[in-house]
Structure 1
Amino acid sequence: MRIGIFFGGPSREREISFAGGRTVYDNLDKSLFQAVPVFVDSHGNFILLDWQYLYKGTIRDFYPPVSALPPSDLKLQVYLESLGALSPDEQDRIIAEVGRRLRPDELAELMDFAFLALHGPSGEDGAIQGLLEWYGIPYSGSGILPSAFGIDKIAQKTLIHALGLPSPAFRVLTAEEFDAADPAALLAYLERELGLPLVMKAPRQGSSIGVSIVRDADVAKFTAAVERSLFRRTVTREEWQRLGAQDRIAWAQHLIDIREGIGLPVVIDESPVAGFQLSVNGQPNDLTTGNSQLAPGFIYHPEELLRALDERLKLQDSVRLTNVQGEQQVLVEAFVQGREFSCIVVEDVDGTPLALPPTEIVKGTEVFDYRSKYLPGMARKITPIELPEADIQRIREQCEQLFRTFGFQVYARLDGFITESGDIFLNDPNTTSGMLPASFFFHQAAEIGLNPSQFLTYIIRTSLAARRRGGLQPVKLGRKLHALDQAVASRQHEQKPRTKVAVIMGGYSSERHISVESGRNIYEKLSSSAKYEPVPVFLTGSSADYQLYVLPINVMLKDNADDIRDKVRHYEAGHGQHPILERIRQEASKITHTYAAQSVAVPEKLTFEQLAERVDEVFIALHGRPGEDGALQQQLERVGLSYNGSGVESSSITINKFETNRRLREAGLRVAEHRLAARLEWEANPEAFYRSLEEQFAYPFIAKPSDDGCSSAVKKIKNRAELEAFARLIFRDQEDLHEDAARTLNLGFKEEFPRKEVFLVETLISRDGAKHFLEITGGLLTHRRPDGGRDIEVFEASEALATGEVLSLEEKFLAGEGQNITPARYAADAAERQRVSEEVKKELRRVAEVLNIEGYARIDAFVRVRENGEVEVLIIEVNSLPGMTPATCIFHQTALAGYTPYDFIDRILEYGKGRSENSEVRS
């Protein structure tokens, strides 16, 4: 059956939709389905996407393509809408670089079923559902009416209250009312009606977009929250003048972020703004009398926005920026003090709603916003919520009731709260859930024993049945259902021997959450193949005592490494499963009997010897220590297991950044000036320690751990205060961070900082007068020759764009976060770009040879291209086990070389297997 996967779209959640579409593409059962990737751009065009673009980190990494971008001084990545009003021919030229435009009337020729991974307006509001019904194409999820209702929070609230169902009290505030009213009086009215805190929401967006909490009777915070929900922003001259040039760029980047800012295009509103006067020195200016050369108009590009703000804020006290797709209403709700949960409800085989185990969302006082929802480790997710069975059952029953009341079909995600007194408030039902590997959608399905591939098969089957019940081509869909049921039944009886691969993930470093993301991605790619049978293995403990656990699927799909560790310890301490799980699994038995290959198990502890008896080979998905340091490789060699990546000796060198730099410099390669800074020296005389570093390195310089992963605690140190803060944090005795030092270094929410005995200090690599200067990351793959030697294939490097001072962990590895352009933009001229690329590849190949890298690796570097054409490559660091998350740019690079992610992983495993076999022959 041909499954058209619709993803991307014009909504503010398009990046999560893009990542979710990739998850569906990767996890569809290849023996049952053929995936047809249909990317929807922000103008609503349908594009049959070339497969290699599926593995880009963000939409902006490939669309619009570099060739379509206007000249730019800042090289900021933008979405298609920032190119302005494009003619159909211009859009066709852009589309042709990434795939083929599809007319709506072509869709039925390409697919038998549409799987909708779209979010928000134009995705889960009934619009795409209506189009598909017009062309007779069955689709996933709810139909037109429940989808239209499911996107409208105000309509939902009105019906919930009309039916007498528990829900927070609310008021609706229009943009016109807000602009006409005194903000202080409006806030006082809402405080009387609803109390504080107030929850402000954009009523027709995804559940995490345009949401704020106003906790105090603060007019400025209230105004900012209203503007956030209306997707507009008032900027004052005083605020703008306080910002330096780089700060203005960072401010604009945050403002145009479609998830947390207001996005583009915007219009500069010249009408008076409540609380502000559009005047110069108290006198009306030309802007207010219509004589200005700076007439109101659309602003599409971030550099255009920066110029407009510079010009206008010289002439007036403030401007108001409004997104052209902004909201006109704000939903204001009373705050519910309680435990927050989210529950997936599915239809069982006979169409009856079945609530899966609800998940508790554990956080601080912050909003469960976009970042908290989708970035691992930002909020803890506990399944099932830790409550007595009777309370969980009440949550489930109310979720099932609301599912029926709203007429939802196939599946939905319902969010809510349970208070200390036991009251349950349901909120914000969603007819499309996020579909990242550990999203609630897959996470809760795993608790009844369905892995992502099996759950997707069930959703497709249930959606076909729902469309048939709704009268869409009942005879034709009846035949499709029968054929799918027969294929699923025959699949259950297939017994094909496959190579067992232990995928080791987790660890105890600050990169453990990314390691889990990498491990799950490897697991998914291998499990969808006919060759491999992956076995998820979680590593925890310490460097002196590795502890290995084989994970059942429901534990592997916990949100992050800490959740997995806690669940493993829970079982190891002798605690059984929550009784509600057995009840739900029994209720779901008709589903799992048909679609699940095995029953839900518990984590199982293994020794390395036992692991060697269980599996044929190993894929190490760990990052930093442990994993990249050679110690784990020694253990695997001891028990005769082949593994991916470099051997013991090479790994022990590349984990040590100081030793890596030393060896590369001795070989004639360029590296930054560097030295180690030791805790003993700091403790003996802090002042002398700081002065010694300042005499050798001019501010700003780079400080980072010398023996950890590539992004852990890498900081640009600009002054003595930041140097002192860095030393205090990295040399601290206790686990908790020093709050004042963390503030000085502007550590992000829940950002971790390792403790070390030494750290590395490096000169900050700068442009130094070069014509072109960029940061790149380049991947490579080694191939074994018949004579036993090896060839090194170096891929086209990616240009890495940081939003902050250095690339963060999230930007490197997480979907929708990083900005990478592959291949790197060394020059505008194609021939010159390729010449520079070959020079860079030659240097990266030399690095791999000097360090005896095997299997694969990622090398980070800066590249300078001088006026005379000379190319300088300055190596930053080498990663012998690079991140393998779905979004990491090594997959962008391998795709250009013709390798699918599975092909690349398969070659890595085959190289490790061949190395082990050759070693056995030699011995």
Structure 2
Amino acid sequence: MKIGIFFGGPSREREISFAGGRTVYDNLDKSLFEAVPVFVDSRGNFILLDWHYIYKGTIRDFYPPVSALPASTLPVQVYLESLGELTQDEQDRIIGEVGRLVLSHELRELMDFAFLALHGPSGEDGAIQGLLEWYGIPYSGSGILPSAFGINKVAQKKLLKALDRPTPNFRVVTVEEWDAADPAATLDYLVRELGLPLVFKAPRQGSSIGVSILREADATKFAAAVERSLFRKTVIRAEWQNLTERDKLQWVQQLVDIREGIGLPVLVEVTGVKAATFENEAPQPEAIIYHPEALLSALDKHFKTAEAVRLTNLDGEAQVLVESFVNGREFSCIVVEDADGKPLALPPTEIVKGEEMFDYRSKYLPGLARKITPIDLPETEIQRIREACEEMFETFGFQVYARLDGFIQADGTLFLNDPNTTSGMLPASFFFHQAAEIGLNPSQFLTFLIRTSLAARRRGGMQPVRLASLLSQLDAAVASRQQQECTRTKVAVIMGGYSSERHISVESGRNIYEKLSSSVKYEPVPVFLTGNSQEFRLYVLPINVMLKDNADDIREKIELAEAGHATHPILTRIRHEAEAITSTYAGQPVEQPRRITFPELADTVSEVFIALHGRPGEDGALQRELEQYGLPYNGSGAESSSITINKFETNRQLREAGLRVAEHRMASRLEWTADPEAFYQSLEEQFSYPFIAKPADDGCSSAVKKIKNRAELAAFSRLIFRDQEDLMPADASVLQLGFKEEFPQKEAFLVETLIARDGAAHFLEVTGGLLTHWSENGELEIEVFEASEALATGEVLSLEEKFLAGEGQNITPARYAPDPVERQRISEEVKAELRRVAEVLNIQGYARIDAFVRVRQNGAVEVLIIEVNSLPGMTPATCIFHQTALAGYTPYQFIDQILEFGKQRSEKLELKS
């Protein structure tokens, strides 16, 4: 069955939609479905996307393509709307670089079914649903009316009030009322009616967009909260003029962020000087700003005379929903239709926030908020939540599935609000997280949703004869698929560990698991590694534990199971209610985590994929264990891994081989403890500020800091040499550590000179992947991919920018030069240097090498190696998949190549012995 996956779109949640569409694309069962990727751009064009663009980290990494971008000196990537008004011919040329424009009447020729991973306006508001109904294309989720209702928070509130259902008191402020009213008087009125704190929401956006909380009766903060929900921003002259050029750039970057800022294009209205305000006339063309650089220039120009400038997004909101604050425990519950079309609430998840608000970042970045499933309440209370969610599902007429959010207060009062007819579909989202509690992995859950959606469309009267035939064919194929399970090769996917990159390891492991589980060749077995350097403990994970939010949550579940903690009775109840679903699509009961020894692992699986980062995993210790039991594994051998984990030793060997590396030395705790002042002076004599400090034997982004002065050096030293586990707040503040950013404890750290431009005509940071093969005569061949250009928003690339969907900015292939021929010449020189690195260090399997590239005025190329990762991150967004796609490998094919190489290497070793 051809499944058209609609993702992207014009909404402010388009990056989550893009990442969710990729999750669906990867997890569709390849024995049942053929995926057809339909990318929707911000102007609503349908694009049959070339498959390799699906694996870009963000939409801006490929669309609009570099060739369509206006010349700019700013290090920012932009969306299509920043190109201004475009003719259809211009849009067609842009689209032609990434795929093929699909007219709406052509959709029914491309697909049998549409899976909607779109969010917000034009995605879950009934618009796309209506178009698909017109052409008779069955689609996932709710129909036109419930979708239109599900996007409108004000209409929902009015219905809940009319039905006498508990919902926070609310008022609606229109933009006309806001512009005409006195802000202080409006605030007084709202506080009198609703009390403090107040919650502000954009009524037709996703549940985390345009939301803020006001805790005090402060008119300035109140105005800012209203503006946030209207997607406006008022800038004051004095504030702007106090910013440095770098501050202005960061301010603009935040402003144009469609998730947390107001986005572009904006209408510019100037006050405090004689200027048009456009209240009674159409906006003039020069008053609309499309590009960040033009916005910077306009603000500098206007603030020579103006006192204030108001920026309003052209697609902002016309009203603001203001609610009373609910002080309670927050939860989210997925409701699905069972085989009879009746609502079935999955176990509700409690959201334990690190911040006061479950905003966009907290929702989608692992580790920032904890998801506890089921919510920690007595069974009767959880059942009451489930019944309330099922009732709301029926009341609002939702179909197939929905995500319902709510609060439960200490007195038992239950509030439901903000239902979503399309939930986020990232691998560890509520959507898959809760389905796993009844035993469905993502691939199986998607099959269930497609089947349920077909049945819902048929019940609604869409082409009953044709859809009955499709349902019959799918049921037969699902039954046949269940019989194929025993013929697939079992692969243990080992994830977790105990390094500061353990959460990224889990993201990588889950991605590998999902790519393999939807294949016809492999049956993955998720294995979690914990313990310490003296003892590795391995646990086979059931799917519901593997899909916990992060590594620490998984470890906690393992510890509870080992302590004899019984399954929560509500889970037993829900699994019983869902038996008809799970017996059809999963065919296996949900189990507890199970401890497994290395000999038992060797008896269970044929191969191993190590998805660990840092120690253990990249240091050779686990590889030696696996070799003892004849288990093939991915990546380099033990000896090479023990070198590349050590950045100091890696640099030493590369320098001896004539490759360029930064000047470096180790800084030990013994030196620091003996005489901190002498320790600092010694480093300052050898390295001028700023320089780089980082652990020598940890993951690629763990505690990597640009040290600019003595205060930062002292703070870094105290943190890395500390005895206690917790960070010292003062030192963490000096280094500006992010929320929940981890910092390892070490006996020594590596200091390196900061690699700078040094007068080069062109200077950029790149990361390049490689893959090894055995030639016909048994020699090792190294395939080096086109490197990606990495753009850091801060001083160094963060973990999020490297590995998490929608965060990093990577341009693949790297932009070494504007001229294509010259660009390729430089690229070949860079690849030759990366190949030399692999040869010197005896890298096998695959790897990622980070480097800086200088291109001199005379065309000379200098490649300065930063570090080598023998087990690079394999999260869905990591740029190694962008690179392999250019070489013609899908992520699954790349992983298959890695596993095949490991198997062949193991066979060669057996023959030798």
> Mean alpha-carbon deviation: is it higher for 534-543 or for 737-746?
737-746
Match of 1:689 in 2: 679
> Mean alpha-carbon deviation: is it higher for 331-340 or for 471-480?
471-480
Match of 1:312 in 2: 302
**Corresponding position: 1:705 with 2:680:** no
Structure 1 CA distance for aligned equivalents of residues 846 and 481 of structure 2: 35
Q: How does 1:397-436 map to 2 (within 5 A)?
A: 397-436=387-426
| SS of match in other structure, 1:314 | coil
Q: Which amino acid aligns with 2:102?
A: L
| Inter-CA distance 289–594: structure 2 relative to 1 (3 Å threshold) | closer
Q: How does 1:432-581 map to 2 (within 5 A)?
A: 432-581=422-571
**Corresponding position: 1:872 with 2:865:** no
**1:907 equivalent among 889, 892, 897:** 897
**Corresponding position: 1:799 with 2:789:** yes
Q: Which amino acid aligns with 1:811?
A: E
**Corresponding position: 1:338 with 2:350:** no
Structure 2 CA distance for aligned equivalents of residues 795 and 697 of structure 1: 34
**Corresponding position: 1:785 with 2:775:** yes
Question: Given that residues 287 and 294 in structure 1 are in contact (C-alpha distance below 8 angstroms), is that contact kept between their aligned partners in structure 2?
Answer: no
How far is the alpha carbon of 1:652 from its aligned partner? 0.8
Match of 1:639 in 2: 629
Structure 1 CA distance for aligned equivalents of residues 511 and 275 of structure 2: 58
> Mean alpha-carbon deviation: is it higher for 735-744 or for 159-168?
735-744
How far is the alpha carbon of 1:822 from its aligned partner? 0.5
**Corresponding position: 1:327 with 2:311:** no
> Mean alpha-carbon deviation: is it higher for 565-574 or for 715-724?
715-724
How far is the alpha carbon of 1:338 from its aligned partner? 1.0
Match of 2:214 in 1: 214
Q: Which amino acid aligns with 1:786?
A: E
Match of 1:54 in 2: 54
Deviation sequence 1:783-822 (CA, Å, 0-9, x none): 1123332011100000001111111100001111111110
Question: Given that residues 210 and 228 in structure 1 are in contact (C-alpha distance below 8 angstroms), is that contact kept between their aligned partners in structure 2?
Answer: yes
**Corresponding position: 1:348 with 2:338:** yes
> Mean alpha-carbon deviation: is it higher for 114-123 or for 684-693?
684-693
Structure 1 CA distance for aligned equivalents of residues 138 and 904 of structure 2: 47
What is the count of residue pairs matched by the alignment? 911
How far is the alpha carbon of 1:295 from its aligned partner? 7.9
**1:384 equivalent among 365, 374, 377:** 374
Structure 2 CA distance for aligned equivalents of residues 485 and 35 of structure 1: 18
Identity over aligned residues, as a percent? 78
Match of 1:109 in 2: 109
Match of 2:839 in 1: 849
| Inter-CA distance 696–242: structure 2 relative to 1 (3 Å threshold) | farther
Q: Which amino acid aligns with 1:44?
A: G
Q: Which amino acid aligns with 1:422?
A: G
How far is the alpha carbon of 1:285 from its aligned partner? 4.4
Match of 1:659 in 2: 649
| Inter-CA distance 465–316: structure 2 relative to 1 (3 Å threshold) | same
Structure 1 CA distance for aligned equivalents of residues 764 and 132 of structure 2: 45
Deviation sequence 1:201-230 (CA, Å, 0-9, x none): 111000011111112222222222111111
How far is the alpha carbon of 1:560 from its aligned partner? 1.0
Structure 2 CA distance for aligned equivalents of residues 547 and 188 of structure 1: 60
| SS of match in other structure, 1:887 | coil
| Inter-CA distance 620–179: structure 2 relative to 1 (3 Å threshold) | same
Question: Given that residues 285 and 315 in structure 1 are in contact (C-alpha distance below 8 angstroms), is that contact kept between their aligned partners in structure 2?
Answer: no
| Inter-CA distance 302–378: structure 2 relative to 1 (3 Å threshold) | same
Deviation sequence 1:434-459 (CA, Å, 0-9, x none): 11111111111111111111111111
Q: Which amino acid aligns with 1:111?
A: M
How far is the alpha carbon of 1:668 from its aligned partner? 0.9
RMSD of aligned alpha carbons? 1.5
How far is the alpha carbon of 1:179 from its aligned partner? 2.5
**Corresponding position: 1:775 with 2:765:** yes
Gaps of 5+ in 2: none
**Corresponding position: 1:611 with 2:607:** no
| Inter-CA distance 408–519: structure 2 relative to 1 (3 Å threshold) | same
Gaps of 5+ in 1: 271-277
Structure 1 CA distance for aligned equivalents of residues 547 and 530 of structure 2: 16
How far is the alpha carbon of 1:690 from its aligned partner? 1.6
Q: Which amino acid aligns with 2:812?
A: T
How far is the alpha carbon of 1:186 from its aligned partner? 2.1
| Inter-CA distance 116–289: structure 2 relative to 1 (3 Å threshold) | closer
Structure 2 CA distance for aligned equivalents of residues 519 and 288 of structure 1: 55
Q: Which amino acid aligns with 1:153?
A: K
Deviation sequence 1:503-539 (CA, Å, 0-9, x none): 0001111111110110011111111222211100001
| Inter-CA distance 241–683: structure 2 relative to 1 (3 Å threshold) | farther
Task: Give the TM-score of the pair, scaled to structure 2.
Answer: 0.98
Structure 1 CA distance for aligned equivalents of residues 883 and 565 of structure 2: 46
Question: Given that residues 132 and 139 in structure 2 are in contact (C-alpha distance below 8 angstroms), is that contact kept between their aligned partners in structure 1?
Answer: yes
**1:820 equivalent among 810, 814, 824:** 810
| SS of match in other structure, 2:303 | helix
Structure 2 CA distance for aligned equivalents of residues 80 and 709 of structure 1: 35
Question: Given that residues 495 and 611 in structure 2 are in contact (C-alpha distance below 8 angstroms), is that contact kept between their aligned partners in structure 1?
Answer: yes
Match of 1:275 in 2: none
Question: Given that residues 330 and 406 in structure 2 are in contact (C-alpha distance below 8 angstroms), is that contact kept between their aligned partners in structure 1?
Answer: yes
How far is the alpha carbon of 1:75 from its aligned partner? 3.9
Deviation sequence 1:800-845 (CA, Å, 0-9, x none): 0111111110000111111111000000000000000001001000
Q: Which amino acid aligns with 1:132?
A: L
Question: Given that residues 142 and 399 in structure 2 are in contact (C-alpha distance below 8 angstroms), is that contact kept between their aligned partners in structure 1?
Answer: yes
Match of 2:871 in 1: 881
| Inter-CA distance 365–777: structure 2 relative to 1 (3 Å threshold) | closer
Deviation sequence 1:241-299 (CA, Å, 0-9, x none): 222212211111111111111111111122xxxxxxx33xxxx4456799xx9985111
> Mean alpha-carbon deviation: is it higher for 356-365 or for 502-511?
356-365
Question: Given that residues 776 and 860 in structure 1 are in contact (C-alpha distance below 8 angstroms), is that contact kept between their aligned partners in structure 2?
Answer: yes
**Corresponding position: 1:373 with 2:363:** yes
Question: Given that residues 6 and 114 in structure 1 are in contact (C-alpha distance below 8 angstroms), is that contact kept between their aligned partners in structure 2?
Answer: yes
| SS of match in other structure, 1:315 | coil
Q: How does 1:35-114 map to 2 (within 5 A)?
A: 35-114=35-114
Question: Given that residues 353 and 403 in structure 1 are in contact (C-alpha distance below 8 angstroms), is that contact kept between their aligned partners in structure 2?
Answer: yes
Q: Which amino acid aligns with 2:71?
A: P
Question: Given that residues 31 and 519 in structure 2 are in contact (C-alpha distance below 8 angstroms), is that contact kept between their aligned partners in structure 1?
Answer: no
Question: Given that residues 350 and 372 in structure 2 are in contact (C-alpha distance below 8 angstroms), is that contact kept between their aligned partners in structure 1?
Answer: yes
Q: Which amino acid aligns with 1:184?
A: A
Match of 2:12 in 1: 12
Question: Given that residues 70 and 83 in structure 2 are in contact (C-alpha distance below 8 angstroms), is that contact kept between their aligned partners in structure 1?
Answer: yes
Question: Given that residues 267 and 296 in structure 1 are in contact (C-alpha distance below 8 angstroms), is that contact kept between their aligned partners in structure 2?
Answer: no
Match of 2:233 in 1: 233
| SS of match in other structure, 1:471 | coil
How far is the alpha carbon of 1:464 from its aligned partner? 0.9
Structure 2 CA distance for aligned equivalents of residues 762 and 890 of structure 1: 26
Structure 2 CA distance for aligned equivalents of residues 753 and 122 of structure 1: 42
Structure 1 CA distance for aligned equivalents of residues 746 and 181 of structure 2: 56
Match of 1:724 in 2: 714
Deviation sequence 1:458-481 (CA, Å, 0-9, x none): 111111111111111112212211
Question: Given that residues 447 and 554 in structure 1 are in contact (C-alpha distance below 8 angstroms), is that contact kept between their aligned partners in structure 2?
Answer: yes
Deviation sequence 1:110-144 (CA, Å, 0-9, x none): 11110000000000000000000011111000000
How far is the alpha carbon of 1:365 from its aligned partner? 4.1
> Mean alpha-carbon deviation: is it higher for 324-333 or for 480-489?
480-489
